[in-house]
Structure 1
Amino acid sequence: MLNTPTLDHTLDDTLDVVAKETAARWVDENMPRLSEWHTHIWELAEPAWREFRSAEWYVERLTAEGFTVEAGSAGMPTAFSAEWTHGTGGPTLLTYAEYDAVPGNNQSASVTEDSREGMSRFAPGHTDPHSALGISTLAGLLATKHAMEQHDIAGTLKYTGEPAEKMHGSKVVHGLRGYYDNVDAIVSFHPFYMLPLCNTARWDTQCGAYYSKVYTFVCDEPESWQLSANPNSPIPASHSAARAPGANVALMSMYTSSRIMQDAMLPSFGGWSLSDAILLDGQATADNLPARVARIQYSWRTPNVEMAEHVLAVLDRNAEHAAQIAHCAVDVTWVARSRPGRTNHVMATVLYDNLAAVGAPSYGPEAIGVAQEIQRNLGIEVMEKPFLDECEQLITPQDAEEALREHLAPWQHNWTSDDYVEMTHYAPTVRFYVSRPALKSPAGAGAYPGWVMNALGGIPATIDPTIDVAGKTIAGTFIDLLTKPELVADARAEFDARVAADPMPALLAADFEPPIELPWPDYRTRNDVRSWG
């Protein structure tokens, strides 16, 4: 068994102690199944808003486990909401799955850089990996359910399927539609992705604001300036109209002006970023006519809403002028507009105590052998202990906070971005991390290629310890909250005080519709042959 606390029972043992042992034993006994489930989701690797088979798998699994499941929750085809209740009374606790993969990151679960068989290297792959995020929380959920049944613990478990996390797609919608209402506590998990946040919980510095918006340039009359140039043309639009400005011109004007302006949008410090992506909309061929439609998506991460709004003003202005330059109209579509997160010290303390009881992940001989083979294939001297030391160590939330603050400006209260922040505005929430496998770099060398961490996230020997520790930690935290009403009350009191001190209303309208119909990268299966669609 991995990381299962050894408990010597006495007559003084309390309900939470024995229930936690029951839950941990469930994780141990079901680890082969959990590992298989993870491999399945990791191999599906479906991109944002197109995770149809991944969501279907979760709906079927949860239904089989006795949950009442709503598929397509909040009008999102690849979302779901599941609920299970035991007994009467008790708190309502929530955790969630994510399962979107990232286009352009196709990597096999192997020790060399290689695409999964039969697929383009530009197909999606799990990078964080969200596959492990989902199966870890599912492990904690089902282990808690088992312990509640075995020890007759009352309460309600809620579990949501959150698609399109990479673009903050679903949590803001679930929140606006009331799916987090009447929840007493939320546990948010993510595999470690940056130091010092490894095997710990966030303390004061939560993630910041995230905005994402699509600008669509539409050119209905691109050749209007040429109408009198060739009155004898047998067709309304002369072939020479290809020279006329069109949607692509507007898009490129927007792209270049925003790139030029990027350094002037905000101060160079504060950890903010701006990303862009061109969405193809059936306009990817060169004909003798100018493009009628072109879309570009911008996503930006900032420490606070004020900074995010300033970037928004610059982009909106650039889009307006780019459209005018190219004789186009411009339509806008919000993808996400997330508030900075709220902290909850009560929740962070409860969770970290449970993480400390379980212990950090430990990588055995098989995992070490995999890591050493990767080093050997990269021409790196093989290390006896190839994994980052921090991957097998705990760090308290307070110590992680202190180390994090050393790199941040004093005025900066939030850092980087993740959409769990929306949940923190509906119920007391803790955000925690368990290490995913990461390798030590040789002295004087740079980071490993990106494919290495992606591959390690798909190899059972290296990723299963993450699932084991996170699942047991979530179950232990839930059991504490289910059996100790004072913890729930204290967490709620802290939440209410923080809301009163700093109200932050939602940034999108209650009837906001998720942009599922935009031409997001798709990945379809036809007759068991995988291909881009």
Structure 2
Amino acid sequence: MPTPPLSTAQCEAVSNVNARSGELSDWCATIFDFGETAWREYRSADWYVTRLRQEGFTVEEGSGGMPTAFCAEWSNGDGPIIGMYAEYDAIPGNCQAASPRREPRTGLGFQAGGHTDPHSGLGIGALGGLLATKAAMEECGIKGGLRFTGEPAEKVRGSKPIHAAKGYYDGLAAMLSFHPFYMLPMCNTVRWDTHCGAAYAMIYRFICDAPENWGQADGAPIPQSHSAVRAPGANDALMMMYQSSKALREAMLPHQGGWSVSEAILTAGQATADNQPAGLAEIQYMMRTPTLAMADQITAVLDRNAQAAAMMSGCRWERHWVCKSRPGLANHAMASLVWEAMQIVGAPYWDDSAGAVARQIQAELGLEPMAEPFIDEMTRLIAPEDAEAILRRDLPPSQLNSTSDDYTDMCWHAPTARFYIARPALRAPEGYTYPNWVMNALGGIPATIDPMVTTAAKVLAVSAIRLLEDKTARDAAMDEFKSRTGGGIGGTGWVPPLCEYEPPIHFRWPEYVETERGRDWWIPSAMSGA
């Protein structure tokens, strides 16, 4: 079926992205250089809030009780409201300069935060699409509104379940979700049936605040002697939790339907060398599963392990939720609409300057620079149904959801399309795997990341304008949403928000600190061997 021609407003939106491409490039570089990690994206969130207010949006800071979240709104009169969003969190241990060689950003060590996906490009691509849509609405007199949320801590699936539970996605005619491509065949395409799955994340905290009761049948206090028996304490509880959960992982769920459990130790120690037991230790778990039932089953196993570890070590234990997110919900009407926009806009194009950067990286790694250094998929479109067929090859027929991202919570509140635009990825010689820093660097160098940003912005704007102008398309998306949920929000097939917890902002999340040396990472950059 041929794609429809662009409307006057859509042409205006595309022209706006082209006119602002230099700004988008500078903005993307700014967020990339901040490199702030989950729940601590202070500079990044402040930058977005300031920029959006300058662009005429009304902005709520700290939305949903999250200091680094926001919700921006703009209206051009009564009409449908279209949602978009920015992410801007980076990952600890991935600090990389926008450079064709492995080097951290100025003044930092490699253990600081850095953008991997990159969310720096994701957020600015979305912002570019938002501003282009606004400009076209003003120029062409299109009624309606725009809502743009700032979503911190995506890497722990943090903000969207909270925003969803607090109503920030309610009342939208549609939600547009863009992500840089991160796995084949999801490159320059739209998700069709198999959306991302459920995910739970939680922190288990072990507290040894009554060590004097350990091992004393008569309740007598522990003698003040270095040779006396001492409670194992929180460190031991954490290690028993860590090792027992690793050992029992294969028994947690059936060996089918892709699932994973990963862990990160947040705090440990809290004791001196004076024969005192550690008083506090924390470990975070993240599970990614196709279904909520699987996530609940793993949680039950982890709870039992935590209780046993606490009893053996003289501790008590607590479980604190980081996220509970629902699996995604398909919407073919939305996917088809965005796919039409992608065909009109086309795949990203990388020019000779990008190729030169890629060859410089290859030479830096001791490889023979290639005439065509990028993978072919970067400049190809793949139809949603074709990508779906490839994705399903490795999945059991009964598995409805796969992989992980928290946009899924938006799907239960508005008709949602999830699409991917290619980010730069290098062609590898046979038997060779590029080090991780290469992808991180390509996500920050303007010549290599800007084509993704501007292409995503155009797809978002063309799709948003179509939704605003075409009531038939908008109604089809909403009708399908209601059909799949049994009537929309609150319907018989609707899955309500799972978030019954406060934002987990008070834990010891890695972050930047201000010292007499200046701005530094919580693991000092001057550490030997950093």
1:95-494 equivalences under 5 Å are 95-225=84-214, 237-240=224-227, 243-280=230-267, 283=270, 286-443=273-430, 445-494=431-480
Residue of structure 2 in register with 1:72 after alignment = 62
1:507 maps to 2:498: yes
Partners in 2 of 1:115 and 1:147 — Cα distance?
A: 40
Alignment correspondent of 2:489: none
Distance 1:27 1:383 in 2: 31
Which secondary structure state, in structure 2, belongs to the residue aligned with residue 105 of structure 1? Answer: coil
The amino acid that maps onto 1:344 is N
- SS of residue matched to 1:506: coil
Change (3 A) 1:250 1:491: same
TM superposition score normalised by structure 1 = 0.93
Question: Aligned partners of 1:192, 1:170: CA distance in 2, in Å?
Answer: 21
Q: Distance in 1 between matches of 2:175 and 2:56?
A: 21
Distance 1:388 1:220, change over 3 A: same
Q: CA RMSD in A?
A: 2.0
Counterpart selection for 1:497 from 483, 494, 500 = 483
- For each residue in 1:198-240, what CA deviation from the matched residue of structure 2 results, as whole angstroms up to 9, or x when unmatched? 00000000000100011101111224346699x999xx74334
SS of structure 2 residue aligned to 1:331? strand
Letter in 1 for 2:447: A
Contact 1:342-1:424 within 8 A present in 2 as well: yes
- For the residues of structure 2 that align with 1:469 and 1:526, how far apart are their CA atoms? 40
CA distance in 1, matches of 2:13, 2:448: 23
* Distance (whole Å) between structure 1 residues aligned to residue 13 and residue 284 of structure 2: 44
C-alpha change, 1:144 and 1:498, in structure 2 (3 Å) is: same
Identity of aligned residues (%): 53
SS in 2 for 1:190: strand
Contact 1:241–1:290 (CA<8 Å) still a contact in 2?
A: no
**Equivalent residue of 2:306, what SS?**
helix
Secondary structure in 2 matching 1:269: coil
Query: Could you give the per-residue CA deviations for residues 462-511 of structure 1, whole angstroms, max 9, x where no partner exists?
Result: 000000100000000000001011111111110011001733222233xx
1:282 deviation in Å? 6.8
Which ranges in structure 1 are unaligned for 5 or more consecutive residues? 1-6, 8-12
Change (3 A) 1:483 1:216: same
C-alpha change, 1:43 and 1:288, in structure 2 (3 Å) is: same
Kept in 2, the 8 Å contact 1:344–1:494? The answer is yes
3-state SS of the aligned residue for 1:214? strand
Task: Tell me the matched-pair count.
Answer: 514
Secondary structure of the corresponding residue to residue 293 of structure 2: helix
Equivalent position of 2:12 in the other structure: 22
CA deviations over 1:16-53 (Å, ceiling 9, x no partner): 61111111111111111110001000000111000011
Counterpart in the other structure of 2:40? 50
- Matched residue type, 2:34: L
Aligned in 2, Cα 1:384/1:320: closer, same or farther, shift over 3 Å?
same
In structure 2, relative to structure 1, the CA distance for the partners of 1:490 and 1:222 (3 Å cut) is same
Structure 1 residues 140 and 227: CA distance shift in structure 2, 3 A: same
In 1, Cα distance between the equivalents of 2:469 and 2:421? Answer: 24
Distance 1:81 1:386, change over 3 A: same
Are the structure 2 counterparts of residues 284 and 54 from structure 1 closer, same or farther at C-alpha, using a change threshold of 3 Å?
farther
* Deviation sequence 1:318-367 (CA, Å, 0-9, x none): 11111111111101101101110001001101111101111101110000
The separation in 2 between residues aligned to 1:168 and 1:285, in whole angstroms, is 35
- CA distance in 1: counterparts of 2:466 and 2:235, whole angstroms: 57
User: SS at 2:282's partner residue?
Assistant: strand
**Residue aligning to 1:4:** none
1:10 aligns to what? Answer: none
CA distance in 2 between counterparts of 1:248 and 1:410 reads 43
In the superposition, relative to structure 1, how do residues 373 and 241 fare at CA in structure 2: closer, same or farther (>3 Å)? farther
SS class of match (2:318): strand
Q: Compared with structure 1, are the counterparts of its residues 350 and 227 closer, same or farther at alpha carbon in structure 2 (3 Å cutoff)?
A: same
2-structure distance, mates of 1:18, 1:285: 70
Letter in structure 2 aligned against 1:197: M
CA distance in 2, matches of 1:240, 1:214: 34
Q: Secondary structure at 1:507's aligned position in 2?
A: coil
Q: CA deviation at 1:528?
A: 8.2
Q: Alpha-carbon deviations, 1:123-169, whole Å to 9, x = none?
A: 00000000000000000000000001111111100000000000111
- Give the AA of the match of 1:52: Y
Q: Secondary structure at the match of 1:283?
A: coil
In the superposition, the TM-score normalised over structure 2's length comes to 0.94
Counterpart of 1:47 in 2: which secondary structure?
coil
Distance in 1 (alpha carbons) for counterparts of 2:274 and 2:353: 55
Note the C-alpha offset of 1:244: 2.8
Find the aligned partners of 1:232 and 1:458 in 2 and give their Cα distance.
58
Q: Hey, what's the Cα distance between the residues in 1 that align with 2:80 and 2:517?
A: 44
Instruction: Give the drift of 1:74.
Output: 1.0
- Conserved? CA contact 1:241–1:289, under 8 Å: no
**Separation of aligned partners in 1, 2:258 and 2:238:** 27
Distance 1:314 1:43, change over 3 A: same
